[in-house]
């Protein structure tokens, strides 16, 4: 009925299987890949950890507040972390995070999302057209 010699190996197999997720999680930080971010000095609009999880919601709130309630002072955002005031615009992020590719895109590419905001909105990576005199125009007509 009982196969005694299997009992201890089977208990070991069970224990290893059962605890693997715990070990994995305990060690995940040391072998997981994390994107490297170029962070500016100073403080973000809100606490950095909060921003990492909630910046998309913040931007959505800014959009509603800045457009619908602009007339009632909706253009001003009070940080609940630092108490500082920010003028609400999606472009404000670039005043500190000067490079979208080295900051925002590092995370977004990693998780495979491409927010469509910059189909319309400005980013510092866009080359601004500027008038260089009449000769400069020739490149458009060659």
- Residues 135 and 93: their CA atoms lie apart, in Å, by 36
Closest distance to ligand HEC from the beta carbon of 142 (Å): 32
Alpha-carbon torsion angle 58, 64, 67, 68, nearest 10: -150
Binding status of residue 117 toward ligand HEC by CB under 6 A: yes
Tokens of 81: 């972390």
Q: Quick one: CA dihedral 46, 106, 39, 121, positive or negative?
A: negative
Binding status of residue 71 toward ligand HEC by CB under 6 A: no
Nearest to 65 by CA among 93, 50, 46, 86: 86
Choose, by CB under 6 A, the member of 67, 76, 126, 137 that binds ligand HEC.
67
Binding status of residue 51 toward ligand HEC by CB under 6 A: yes
Stretch that binds ligand HEC, among 6-14, 20-28, 87-95, 128-136 (CB under 6 A): 87-95
Query: Rule CB under 6 A: which residues touch ligand HEC?
Result: 37, 39-45, 48, 51-52, 55-56, 58-59, 62-63, 66-67, 89-93, 95-97, 103-104, 107-108, 111, 113, 115-117, 119-121
């Amino acid at each position: 009925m009982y196969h005694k010699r299997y009992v201890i190996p089977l208990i070991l197999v069970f224990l290893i299987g059962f605890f693997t997720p715990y070990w994995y999680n305990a060690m995940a930080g040391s072998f997981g890949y994390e994107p490297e971010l170029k962070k500016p000095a100073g403080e973000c609009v809100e606490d950095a950890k909060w921003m990492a999880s909630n910046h998309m919601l913040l931007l959505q709130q800014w959009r509603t507040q800045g457009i619908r309630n602009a007339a009632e002072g909706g253009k001003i955002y009070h940080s609940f972390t630092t108490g500082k005031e920010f003028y609400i615009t999606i472009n404000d992020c670039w005043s500190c995070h000067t490079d979208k590719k080295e900051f925002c895109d590092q995370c977004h590419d990693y998780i495979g999302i491409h927010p469509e905001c910059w189909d319309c909105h400005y980013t510092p990576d866009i080359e601004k057209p500027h008038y260089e005199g009449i000769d400069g125009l020739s490149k458009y007509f060659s």
